[in-house]
Chains A and B, each alone.
Chain A
């Protein structure tokens, strides 16, 4: 395997580690507000101090409002804050269980570091991006996995047993394919409470994905199973007394691997985007819990849209993630 083929997988794994351990990599909590520096641009990192002396340890300065303006910031050069690594900071839990206070980087009290600027409430966009990616990425991945899994199982049953089982499953699949998925998702969403917890959004997405998305993979898997069912090696296995389950698992389903892969390739971006669209319209993950969708929703404010480029960072990360997935699946 060449480096080029390993790269997307490695990059995605790294991203999952970042997003899976947001507390460690993020300097702040996702809801800590710094009202006096709302909508501040990213903090600049210097290796030379005021007197142009070189330091190996990077230096940052605080933002302060330029006097007489509302949204223009300048650096307060009077105090330099050196960047420290593996510091003691706000408490968090690793994987929701183990309490910890160690952060990858931070400043001594009084200093602020916003790698990707702040939002309207002065919350650190970089920290929120990491915390938000947890829901956006994992919900999409899990939903895609579940719908493809269901689909392959349903398609295998339909193709292998035939007769009325086939008829029922395929008619149902046709029905689910006829309804546009975004409308179905929204109409189910319509009758849940207006404010949802992240865990509820998670469950909603997975349930909806599992119930809607199974139809297309089921159709394709059925075709594969139909082709394999009457082959001679299956007949031979039957003659040796193999059970239906064994034949499906060992002889037929491995052939559906390609189908499952192509469907996952289509579904992963679709479901990651689904969460983002829901939250963008304020129907998904509710404030103050971040998700890439509700962070992008801030751009509906024209001032933010026009003059705060760092607020686009969830969009940039989203595009990068989608490109990486596309690359990964192309090399599989």
Chain B
């Protein structure tokens, strides 16, 4: 348990440090929500000053940070000036949508990367191998923004839903039709996210499978007359899996934090879209909370990786 407890404590400390950092950077920058009211001549400077003191924005940063921390513990996460309520009830449905999208995209990317990478490693120089390296090179050069726009164009031509998360269905359509609708909306954004992750996954899967296939126990197993297929799946794959497990946790965290762009292009009502709106309306706490959630997901992804490694690798449990 020692290893896990240490990792958990480390993650927590990192999270607190990151929140201080975000707060500092955000407070260093000039201007806030009420500052932008000055454009309106009907609001006097005194009214702005009293609003700022009512919401505590005139206090020094450490005090403000302390208030924010208390409200996070209470489950409010600060106050959204635009929505005029606590921040967490606004954030929560968005987080669920982001998790749904990112989870499906991760799954999709791994479902493609694992067999293709394994095959590419098993037959070096075959068409699968060439296809894999071609895909890696191509996807690395096309940024997600451009890929998203191209997929959007495809959606408009083919007639797939190209925006939002669900169509306005009449009440009582049934859970089956509703989820079918959501899957239709999710397909393209998930594909775009998975494509962004694919080069990283493919190259790692291929490299670690190659390494496993070159180790002596594989030659020994082949020497005993065990079929190549069985050696590949039962001997080499489990041996190659260890670095991939830590990559899995990392990819989950990476994807959740990089889904911001894709969500905004496809109008997926997730955390990223909310954050862009919050920036446009200078909603301080929503921006800070979104950044913190993105960070938390990244850290949680790393922690999940540690957890999985702990379960699968006895060397870590003992040492």
- What residues of chain A have their CB less than 8 Å away from a CB belonging to chain B? 174-176, 178-180, 182-184, 186-194, 211, 269, 273, 276-277, 280-281, 283, 296, 299, 302, 305-306, 312, 315, 318-319, 322-323, 326
**New contact pairs (20) apart from A187-B26, A281-B264, CB-CB < 8 Å:** A175-B18, A175-B21, A178-B18, A179-B22, A179-B295, A180-B257, A184-B22, A186-B279, A187-B279, A190-B279, A273-B145, A276-B145, A283-B276, A283-B279, A296-B146, A302-B156, A305-B152, A306-B156, A318-B143, A319-B141
A192, B18: Cα distance in complex, Å: 21
Q: Is B31 close to A, CB under 8 A? A: yes
A126, B30: Cα distance in complex, Å: 37
User: How near does chain A come to B179, taking the closest CB pair, in angstroms?
Assistant: 27
State whether B149 touches A299 (Cβ < 8 A).
yes
A182, B258: Cα distance in complex, Å: 8
Q: Is B153 close to A, CB under 8 A? A: yes
State whether B279 touches A305 (Cβ < 8 A).
no
A192, B29: Cα distance in complex, Å: 7
A-B CB contact pairs (8 Å), 27 listed: A175-B14, A178-B14, A178-B295, A178-B298, A179-B21, A179-B291, A179-B295, A183-B257, A183-B291, A184-B25, A186-B276, A186-B279, A190-B279, A191-B30, A191-B284, A194-B280, A269-B143, A276-B143, A277-B145, A277-B261, A305-B149, A306-B156, A315-B146, A319-B141, A319-B142, A323-B141, A326-B140
Number of B residues near A (Cβ < 8 Å) is 46
Chain B residues lying within 8 Å of A269, measured Cβ to Cβ, are: 143
With A178-B295, A182-B260, A186-B279 known to touch, is A191 a contact of B152 (CB < 8 Å)?
Answer: no
A206, B15: Cα distance in complex, Å: 25
A319, B145: Cα distance in complex, Å: 11
Q: Is B299 close to A, CB under 8 A? A: yes
Q: Is B106 close to A, CB under 8 A? A: no
State whether A182 touches B257 (Cβ < 8 A).
yes
Our pick among B17, B280, B287, B288 for the contact of A175 (Cβ within 8 Å) is: B17
Chain A residues lying within 8 Å of B288, measured Cβ to Cβ, are: 187
Chain A residues lying within 8 Å of B26, measured Cβ to Cβ, are: 187-188, 190-191
State whether A183 touches B275 (Cβ < 8 A).
yes
Chain B residues lying within 8 Å of A296, measured Cβ to Cβ, are: 145-146, 149
| Chain A residue at smallest Cβ distance from B283 | A190
Binary per-residue interface labels of chain B (284-300) against chain A in the complex, 1 for a CB within 8 Å, 0 otherwise = 10011011001100110
Chain A residues lying within 8 Å of B258, measured Cβ to Cβ, are: 180, 182
A273, B21: Cα distance in complex, Å: 24
Binary per-residue interface labels of chain B (16-34) against chain A in the complex, 1 for a CB within 8 Å, 0 otherwise = 0110011001100111100
- What residues of chain B have their CB less than 8 Å away from a CB belonging to chain A? 14-15, 17-18, 21-22, 25-26, 29-32, 36, 137, 140-143, 145-146, 149, 152-153, 156-157, 162, 257-258, 260-261, 264, 275-276, 278-280, 282, 284, 287-288, 290-291, 294-295, 298-299
User: How near does chain B come to A205, taking the closest CB pair, in angstroms?
Assistant: 14
| Chain B residue at smallest Cβ distance from A305 | B153
| Chain B residue at smallest Cβ distance from A192 | B29
Chain B residues lying within 8 Å of A319, measured Cβ to Cβ, are: 141-143, 146
A178, B19: Cα distance in complex, Å: 11
User: How near does chain A come to B245, taking the closest CB pair, in angstroms?
Assistant: 20
Our pick among B141, B264, B290 for the contact of A326 (Cβ within 8 Å) is: B141
